């Protein structure tokens, strides 16, 4: 078995040579990525045009696959982050058809050899997660790409000096202006994350999921989309055949995702996604370790259910418990690792369960992507419940909409009429919509964010989905795959695992699994007359996972922030608002009012408060630089010393 894994990449391509002056700044910036690859560090100047720097976490072919990886008598140099799960098969094909020569046992060499022989079409053959860049010394041309679903990150910055690329944005900040983009702040407050391709810093962007880039000193950076997930639902009468296909395709994906020269474990929650992955992984390694996380608060912990599943599957599960004080103490480090705020509270337990897993294994399998692929969110049932209204003629819908406006708030039926007479393009913006009211958003934002609205992000996605002829349920899946999955789910999965030098793999987000999921009709995802979601997947896994899990709604690592913000976290939250230095951007007195109302039980404002708190911590670290997140080694070189000595940890005492 062989392969290579670089978890932190940093590259600089000069538009005018003379890169030597960037050696020291690049070496310093590289230390900001140390957590992504503590096993090896490298920095190489190539022909005075390019600097390749990397931090390596060794997973496969630990000894041979050093980076940057040369190929074909040093014509090509590659820096690579990810795993190619079908690299053995591709290696054999390249040898058989093209007499390709390999000097390592790694998957990285397959990528660069494939590029030499197949050109950009190599991307259509790679089955895995990746972000890489290749420098062709002969053509003086760079080519790079991200995987189809956006599992591995790549950020870029263009300046008068050239092009910078990095796994994480923080490594580009020393070369950027550091100005906050108010439009993206508006989107953050709506979506609870910054949608691709943007970041909160002007000038720094992300290569999108399924995109590739080319750059040469004499040309502009060119980015194009080589992969778009296209749903093509088709009628299916033979249900048993499709259930079998789902199960066997996922089984093969899990088998490939377990290729490694280091121990592989798995996350285990209470739902069917992670349980399915563990059940299939156990077939290939009966000794696989699993990890779960929960809280002491009633109704919020998945530990008991996960342990029940573990007993049924005869695997060991190692639990972790998180309390409010753990959460408060860790939040600065978590936000530092995120790069941009992601105000999803579930990333906190994910951080702690990854920390526990890293004590035992180097790689974990996880269940991300199943909901987007197979139709797993309860909100996907909404078009079915509203179908009697949405099918009415436009004049009748307008009349009902007008009627809904005069019905007092809180009266039963008002929301139903409003939603049923609102087009899906305006009704659904993805899985999260925090500050949804335009007036509320304008009140919160101190600076004019222009005409930024959530529809600026979703409108082109709905246009693509409509052109594909999709039904409303599948349109919602498409929007979530293009926004929520990339901006929230996969960002937190990558950053919270990499914070502990742990590689997280997602067998659901696989090309072959997608090929099966993309053809499912609506009725096999959210069948009419049922509260079930992911129906076809549940039926497919019914013989694999414990019966009690098959139809259990997922909890998804729920976090008791609603309870904690009214109790243990109240004073801590007030201190963050007062000390963040973000009052020139946000009306934090308004947020303090939301916090008081929440504590008094007048409203559940927890999601809005949490979204602002995470931004405030981010602002204190990356903009005001008044907060040291407690990151070891040289990473804190990004920050100034806190002038006031303020530390969030100081505000974590219980409120009397």
pLDDT tens per residue, range 60-71? 544 555 678 999
Burial of 463 (0-12, 13-18, 19+ CB in 10 A): exposed
Residues 44, 98, single domain; the answer is: yes
Residues 336 and 279 in one domain: yes
Q: pLDDT value at position 1?
A: 37
Mean of pLDDT values over 484-492: 97
Question: Among 225, 256, 280, which residue terminates a domain?
Answer: 225
**Burial category of 204 from C-beta neighbours within 10 Å (exposed 0-12, middle 13-18, buried 19 and up):** buried
**Whether 321 and 214 share a structural domain:** no
Q: What is the pLDDT of residue 568?
A: 95
Where is pLDDT greater, at 634 or 35?
A: 35
d(CA 181, CA 277): 39
Burial (CB < 10 A; 0-12, 13-18, 19+), residue 121, is: exposed
pLDDT of 25 strictly over 90: yes
Please report how many Cα atoms fall inside a 13 Å half-sphere around the Cα of residue 136, on the Cβ side: 17
Give the CATH number, domain containing residue 313: 3.40.50.620
Residue 524 phi, psi (nearest 5): -90, 0
- pTM exceeds cut of 0.95: no
Rounded to 5 degrees, φ, ψ at 202 are -60, 140
Pair 103, 136 in one domain:
yes
Query: Which of 404-408, 475-479, 550-554, 646-650 is most confident?
Result: 475-479
The SS3 of residue 568 is coil
In a domain, 341, yes or no: yes
Q: 131 lies in a domain?
A: yes
In this structure, are residues 471 and 25 in contact, taking their beta carbons and an 8 Å threshold? no
The predicted structure's pLDDT at residue 387 = 84
Do 35 and 183 reside in the same domain of the chain?
yes
For the chain, what is the domain count?
Answer: 3
Banded model confidence at residue 648, pLDDT cuts 50, 70, 90: very low
Whole-angstrom Cα distance, residue 262 to residue 503?
Answer: 11
For residue 30, is it within any domain?
yes
Quote the distance between the C-alpha of residue 28 and its chain's center: 26
Q: pLDDT per residue over 353-366, tens digit each? A: 999 999 999 999 99
Nearest-angstrom CA–CA distance, 329 and 576: 12
Q: Are residues 284 and 156 in the same domain?
A: no
Beta bridge partners of 163: 13, 158
Same domain, 367 and 317: yes
Same domain (yes/no): 217, 114: yes
Give every strand in the sheet of 141-146, ordered side by side: 69-71, 76-84, 128-136, 141-146, 211-215, 222-225
Task: Tell whether 29 and 159 lie within a shared domain.
Answer: yes
CATH number at 20 reads 3.60.20.10
Domain membership flag for residue 630: yes
Looking at the predicted structure, is the pLDDT value of residue 191 above 90?
yes
Active-site entry in 4, 7, 212, 616:
7
What range defines the domain where residue 620 resides? Answer: 561-651
pLDDT bucket at 600, cuts 50 / 70 / 90 = very high
Helices (H), 518-624: 535-540, 547-550, 561-565, 570-579, 588-599, 606-622
Q: Quick one: angle between helices 272-284 and 239-257, nearest 10?
A: 60
On whether the CB atoms of residues 66 and 106 are closer than 8 A, the answer is no
pLDDT tens per residue across span 104-150:
988 999 999 999 999 999 999 999 999 999 999 999 999 999 999 99
Is 616 tagged catalytic? no
Query: What's the rounded mean pLDDT across residues 261-276?
Result: 92
Asked whether residue 72 falls in the same domain as residue 189, the answer is yes
């Amino acid at each position: 078995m062989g392969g290579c894994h670089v978890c932190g990449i940093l590259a600089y391509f000069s538009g005018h040579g003379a890169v030597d002056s960037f050696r020291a700044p690049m070496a310093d910036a590289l230390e900001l990525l140390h957590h992504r690859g503590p096993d090896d560090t490298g920095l190489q100047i190539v022909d005075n045009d390019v600097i390749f720097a990397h931090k390596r976490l060794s997973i496969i072919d630990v000894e041979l696959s050093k980076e940057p990886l040369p190929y074909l008598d040093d014509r090509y140099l590659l820096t690579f982050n990810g795993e190619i799960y079908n690299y053995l098969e591709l290696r054999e094909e390249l040898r058989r058809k093209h007499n390709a020569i390999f000097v390592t046992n790694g998957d990285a060499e397959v990528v660069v050899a494939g590029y030499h022989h197949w050109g950009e079409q190599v991307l259509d053959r790679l089955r895995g997660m990746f972000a890489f860049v290749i420098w062709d010394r002969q053509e003086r041309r760079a080519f790079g790409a991200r995987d189809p679903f956006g599992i591995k990150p790549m950020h870029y910055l263009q300046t008068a000096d050239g092009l910078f690329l990095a796994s994480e944005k923080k490594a580009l900040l020393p070369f950027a202006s550091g100005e906050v983009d108010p439009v993206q702040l508006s989107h953050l407050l709506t979506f609870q994350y910054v949608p691709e391709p943007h970041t909160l810093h002007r000038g720094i962007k992300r290569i999108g999921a399924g995109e590739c880039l080319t750059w040469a000193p004499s040309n502009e950076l060119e980015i194009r989309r080589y992969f778009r997930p296209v749903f093509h639902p088709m009628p299916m009468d033979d249900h048993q055949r499709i259930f079998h296909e789902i199960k066997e395709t996922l089984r093969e994906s899990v088998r490939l995702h377990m290729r490694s020269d280091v121990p592989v474990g798995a996350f285990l929650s209470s739902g069917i996604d992670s349980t399915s992955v563990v059940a299939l992984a156990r077939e290939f390694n009966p000794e696989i370790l699993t990890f779960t996380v929960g809280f002491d608060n009633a109704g919020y912990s998945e530990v008991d259910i996960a342990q029940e599943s573990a007993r049924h599957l005869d695997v060991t599960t190692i639990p972790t418990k998180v309390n409010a004080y753990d959460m408060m103490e860790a939040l600065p480090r978590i936000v530092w690792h995120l790069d941009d705020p992601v105000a999803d509270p579930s990333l906190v337990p994910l951080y702690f369960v990854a920390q526990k897993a890293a004590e035992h294994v180097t790689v974990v399998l996880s269940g991300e992507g199943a909901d987007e692929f197979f139709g797993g969110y309860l909100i996907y049932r909404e078009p079915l419940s509203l179908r009697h209204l949405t099918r009415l003629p436009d004049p009748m819908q307008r009349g009902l909409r007008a009627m809904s406006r005069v019905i007092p708030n809180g009266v039963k039926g008002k929301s139903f009429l409003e939603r049923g007479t609102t087009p899906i393009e305006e009704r659904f913006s993805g899985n999260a919509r925090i500050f949804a009211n335009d007036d509320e958003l304008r009140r919160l934002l101190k600076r004019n964010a222009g005409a930024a609205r959530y529809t600026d992000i979703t409108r082109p996605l709905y246009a693509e989905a409509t052109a594909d002829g999709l039904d409303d349920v599948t349109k919602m899946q498409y929007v979530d795959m293009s926004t929520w999955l990339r901006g929230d789910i996969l960002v937190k999965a990558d950053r919270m695992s990499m914070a502990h030098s742990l590689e997280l793999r997602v067998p659901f987000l696989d090309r072959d699994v997608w090929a099966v999921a993309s053809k499912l009709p609506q009725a096999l995802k959210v069948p009419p007359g049922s509260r079930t979601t992911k129906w076809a997947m549940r039926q497919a896994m019914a013989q694999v996972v414990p019966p009690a899990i098959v139809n259990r709604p997922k909890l998804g690592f729920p976090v008791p922030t609603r309870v904690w913000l009214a109790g243990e976290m109240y004073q801590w939250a007030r201190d963050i608002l007062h000390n963040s230095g973000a009052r020139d951007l946000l009306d934090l007195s308004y947020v303090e009012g939301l916090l008081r109302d929440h504590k008094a039980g007048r409203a559940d404002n927890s999601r809005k408060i949490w979204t602002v708190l995470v931004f405030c911590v981010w602002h204190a670290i990356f903009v005001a630089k008044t907060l040291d997140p407690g990151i070891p080694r040289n990473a804190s070189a990004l920050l100034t010393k806190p002038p006031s000595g303020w530390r969030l940890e100081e505000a974590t005492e219980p409120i009397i």
